[in-house]
Each structure stands twice: as C-alpha cells, then as structure tokens.
Structure 1
Amino acid sequence: MSTDEKDRFFKLSLAQWSLHRAIGNDKLDPLDFAEKAKEMGFEGIEYVSGLYTKKLESMGMEALLEVLKAKSEEHGVENVLIMIDGEGDLAAADEKERNQAVENHKKWVDAADFLGCHSIRVNLFGSDNEEDWIANATVGLKQLAEYGQSKGINVIVENHGGFSSNAALLTRVIKNVNMDNCGTLPDFGNFCMKRDSGENWGENCIEEYDKYKGTEEMMPFAKGVSAKSYDFDDEGNETTLDYPRFLKIVKDAGYTGYVGVEFEGSNVSEEKGIELTRDLLIKIGRELSK
C-alpha cells in the first residue's frame, strides 16, 4: 500500500489513543509508539500524556523525552502534537484552580517544544453555566496560549464533552482569545454535550451537537484533525460517521495538515481498526484530490 501523500491533500498521523488498550494491557510499550506507527504506514504521531504516567514515574520527564525524540528520529516519523489530560481544568470557575491548571500544562508545552511538535491539545470542561464557562475558558486558555507563544507552540482545544462539544461556544472562546497559536482540534466523533450520567464520558448521550456543522464551524481555527472511527462494514466504510462528508468539509476549509487516525471501536482489534481507518482516509483523500 502506497502512502505517498502527493495523491491526497493531507498527511496521515496516528493518535496514540488508538492503541490505549494494548498499552494499558502491557502488550505495547509506549516507548515503541514511533516504531509501531512507522510499521503501519504513518508519517506523524500524536502522543497522549496519560499513557506515559508509569514511564514518568520511573524515568522522569527529561529522560522520557530524550527516548521519545530519539525513537521518532530513528524511525523517521514526525512528532505532531501531545494530547494532554489530567492536568487540571483550564476553564475552572475558581481562579486558584484555573491558574494551577495553567501551571500544570506548561511542562507539556516545554515537552512539545523539545520533541518538535507543533501543538498541545487541551480540554475545556469548566462550569455548568454557559456564560461563566465562556469567560473562564477564555482566561485560562489565553494564559496558556501566551506561554505557548513564547515557545512557538500552539494550544488547541478538542471538542471533548460539555460546552467544549458545542462548536459555536468553543469558537467564541477561540475568537475571544484571539491569538494565532490558539486554535481547535476537531474530532469527528466527540460532539456529545450531555450524558445521562452527568459525566463527560461513558453512559448514553442525551444531547449531541450536529457533528458536521460542528466540524465546519471548528475548521477555520483547526491546527489538527482527529478522524475518530468506531465500526466498519465489509467494504471498509465507517458505519457510524459519513467519512466522505467529513473529509470534504476538511478539504473545503483549505486544510492540508495532518489528519490523525483515532480508532475507538471494539468489534475489531485496535490494529485492524487503525488499518481500516487509515485505508478509508487514503481512499477518500485520493477521490477528493482528483
């Protein structure tokens, strides 16, 4: 299979979350992520901070980053971004809590800079009140983006539950921050705003933002794209999402950067799901580039 990027308008990266079960079950060492991605035909990689918790405890940040950088260079893959979780709420109503979250994220800006990534992906969860969320998210995000700017690193927000999955509100925040290095990471599948459990994850979605409208609204600010996938038919088409429609939205926005494969399904293995998503993106990419 050729992964020559000349016959499509985007480059292909692998989101590490696609392999989170293999890493969590100790079937794949997260230090071997670059090698695995290269084997599967990817040009770039997207790290997930939480998948290195154990390594950070045993190695420390500096040693970890040196290994990851060496591995990426050895296998000829580009370090694209780091997805940051568990470092506090950048949209918290409490100023002290919000400031602490900003401080917690700074080491990952430094890490991205060291690895040669262009961005870190952050979350904006925050309060239940819409206007409060916009105000607090704007403050926290701007503070971190200012630090990111000093290092040449973008700070990008994914639609990742709660108000952040309301693309109209999220883009208001991005416009409020009004910085070149502050943008979005549209994810095809994360537009659930409310679940019956009241949590950001798990359980049934009871309120969802229109995925296609949301992606369209986020694309003008996009510095990355997450091609989420869940399930496929016998012809290799994603059955829960209209991939041709998504890719056309991405292309029409003039986007030519990395599209990251982020498989989350359970009906096939992680590797098979990654391959199916990769091949579908290449197929549609070629069709749209004719």
Structure 2
Amino acid sequence: MNLSQQRRSFIKNLGLVGLGASISPIMLQSCGGTSTQTVLEEITKELFFKISLAQWSLHKALFAGDLDNLDFTAYTKKEFDIHAVEYVSAFFKDKAKDMSYLGEMKKRASDNGVESVLIMVDDEGYLGDLDTAARNQSVDNHKKWVEAAQFLGCHSIRVNAFGRGSAEEVAAAAIDGLRSLSEFALDYDINILVENHGGYSSDGQWLANVIQSTGMANCGTLPDFGNFCIKRSDGSEWGGECLEEYDRYKGVAEMMPFAKGVSAKTYDFDADGNCIETDYERMLQIVKDAGYTGYIGIEYEGSNLSEMEGIQATKALLERVGMSMD
C-alpha cells in the first residue's frame, strides 16, 4: 500500500476524530508512521474545497452571552483549527455602520489569520416584496451590510428572497430587488447570494430562474444542504410544521451553477459519524461535479450534540468524505 492509499485508509478509519479523540501512535502506524501534522496537511491538500465556519453554528452560545461576537474568529481558530468564518448579522445587528466596532472585528480576524468570507443578513425586509416601496426599502436596508462586508474583507453577503404572493409574482419582485441590490454592490466588489431558506426560495428551479433572470454576474446562490421546506402549516418560512419538502439533492444541483458559497447543514449523526438527514457522499459529489472549489461553511443546528461537538463532527465528516473522493 502506497502512502496515498495508507493516508486514505487512515482517514476513513478515523471517524469522529473531531469529537476529541486523539490520534494515537497505534493509529499512525496504520498510516505508515506518518506524523499527525503530515496527515492533517495532506487532508487539506487533497480536499477539493475549503472549510469555513458559519457563525450560526454557535448561535446558542452567542445568544446566551457565553461567546462574544468579537471573540468568534479567535475561538474558531483555537477550538476547531478553522481559518475562515461566515458572520451572521444578528450578532452585530446594530454595528453595521460602527466603524470602530467593525475595525476591531477586522483586526481580530487578521491577528488570528482568519479570513472573513461573508455576512449572512436577516431581518432587513423582503427583497421579493410585491409592494415596490417596501421592496426598495429592503434594498436600502441591505446596503449598509454590503459596505460592512467590503470593509471586513468578505466577498459576499447572503440575503433572502422572500415575498408574499404567487410564485410568479414573488419571482418578478425578487428579480427586481436582487438586481437593484446587486447593481449597488458592484462598486464594492461584493456578491449578493440567495440561500434556500424557506418558501419559494427552497424550490431549486424557482431560485435558479430568479438568479439567472437578474442578469447580474455578482448575484448568485448559497446552496444549503438542508432548508428545503417549501410549505409550512402556518405559511411561514421557518415556523410551522413542514407540509411539503423539495428534494435536497435536486435542489442543490439546480443551484450549484450559480453558487459562490455552500452551507454544510447537519443535525444528527449515526454511530459511524455520518449525517443522518443528508448523504454527504452524494451531496459533495454534486458540489464537486459542478466544478466548485470555494468554501463550504459548517452549519450545525442539532441538539443531540453540543455546538462544539456538532461542529467538530461536521468538520470530521467533510474531511473524511472529501478525502475519499476521486
């Protein structure tokens, strides 16, 4: 067995190393005596994507005050050895124009060698609102986040394409709102990305058509491996029981041609460290076949593991599956 085969066999057998299990000398013997550092370096070299951490993975700790937004980048590097982050606007929602605060965020990211990838923006109105005035207000509300993203060194902001009306009506409104915001973002070299986040946006074909119809190269998608409920009992995007769900593999495949980011959603894991709700081998193959080589952001939302354990399990899964792919 050559070194590459040994390394692959080792990684496949490693399982949930991220859950705190140490790499023992006995385990290293199965990898030809290769050092831990060498093994981990080879993992990074052979993955077709890069790994980032979505801040929402730590939303419980952040909302509880156990972790401060300013400490997020240092915590990400120290606890998970991840060197890229995706911020969530909710954790500094009143700081979008506070240059002193943003400056401190930028400094801490730089000091820790952590790249700021994007900002996930919520609660700024519906970009697919059928009311023109309300839609334009939503566009204006998002502009400060475009400016903040540029300052922090991000390449994108993630937005929502929500609206109330028929699929055709909301699509037309969303195309207008997204085009307007994307035109503004051009001068800042920022992308406007839409995630499948409930309602019509979780219909992969609907969203792909909306993005394509904007005619803007900086308007794209952020496919999430979860979030494919298109109809809930209370008519909301997230709240009620899911009544109709879109096929996640079909949806991601439809969104990938426009993807400038990807979210690795996880909730629960089996005894072998595999995600229960999503076949990661199948899903990562879809991502790879699309020619995507950018960041895949870890977004753990489960409750059976702690946030730290869930993040570590998701990272281990991404590395293990990614390493096994040809």
Normalised to the residue count of structure 2, the TM-score between the two structures is 0.86
Per the alignment, in what secondary structure is the counterpart of residue 9 of structure 1?
A: coil
- Of residues 256-265 and 1-10 in structure 1, the stretch that sits farther from structure 2 once superposed is 1-10
Per the alignment, in what secondary structure is the counterpart of residue 250 of structure 1?
A: helix
User: Are the aligned partners of 2:95 and 2:102 in contact in 1 as well (CA < 8 Å)?
Assistant: no
User: Are 1:51 and 2:91 matched, yes or no?
Assistant: yes
Per the alignment, in what secondary structure is the counterpart of residue 56 of structure 1?
A: coil
User: Are 1:218 and 2:258 matched, yes or no?
Assistant: no
1:33 equivalent in structure 2: 72
Distance 2:170 2:299 in 1: 27
Return 5+ residue gaps in structure 1 as ranges.
none
Aligned partner of 2:304 among 260, 267, 276:
267
Cα-to-partner distance string for 1:251-283 (whole Å, 9 max, x where unaligned): 010000000000000001000000000010011
Distance 2:177 2:46 in 1: 40
Per the alignment, in what secondary structure is the counterpart of residue 182 of structure 2?
A: helix
User: Are 1:133 and 2:170 matched, yes or no?
Assistant: yes
The AA in structure 2 aligned to 1:43 is H
User: Are the aligned partners of 1:119 and 1:156 in contact in 2 as well (CA < 8 Å)?
Assistant: yes
2:246 equivalent in structure 1: 209
Return 5+ residue gaps in structure 2 as ranges.
1-35
1:44-193 matches, cutoff 5 A: 44-53=84-93, 56=95, 61-193=98-230
Per the alignment, in what secondary structure is the counterpart of residue 187 of structure 2?
A: helix
Per the alignment, in what secondary structure is the counterpart of residue 273 of structure 2?
A: coil
Return the index of the structure with the highest Cα Rg: 2
User: Are 1:233 and 2:270 matched, yes or no?
Assistant: yes
2:8 equivalent in structure 1: none
User: Are the aligned partners of 2:70 and 2:105 in contact in 1 as well (CA < 8 Å)?
Assistant: yes
Cα-to-partner distance string for 1:114-170 (whole Å, 9 max, x where unaligned): 011000000011023111011100000000000111110000000001111111111
**Structure 1 residue 106: Cα displacement:** 0.4
**Structure 1 residue 7: Cα displacement:** 1.5
- Of residues 205-214 and 232-241 in structure 1, the stretch that sits farther from structure 2 once superposed is 232-241
Find runs of 4+ consecutive structure 1 residues off by over 6 angstroms.
none
Distance 1:88 1:23 in 2: 23
User: Are the aligned partners of 1:11 and 1:43 in contact in 2 as well (CA < 8 Å)?
Assistant: no
Distance 2:241 2:225 in 1: 18
The AA in structure 1 aligned to 2:258 is F
Cα-to-partner distance string for 1:184-214 (whole Å, 9 max, x where unaligned): 0000001101111221113321111110000
The AA in structure 2 aligned to 1:141 is L
Per the alignment, in what secondary structure is the counterpart of residue 151 of structure 1?
A: coil
The AA in structure 2 aligned to 1:46 is E
The alignment of Structure 1 onto Structure 2 pairs a total of residues equal to 286
The AA in structure 1 aligned to 2:83 is E
Identity within the alignment, %? 53
User: Are the aligned partners of 2:90 and 2:122 in contact in 1 as well (CA < 8 Å)?
Assistant: yes
Normalised to the residue count of structure 1, the TM-score between the two structures is 0.96
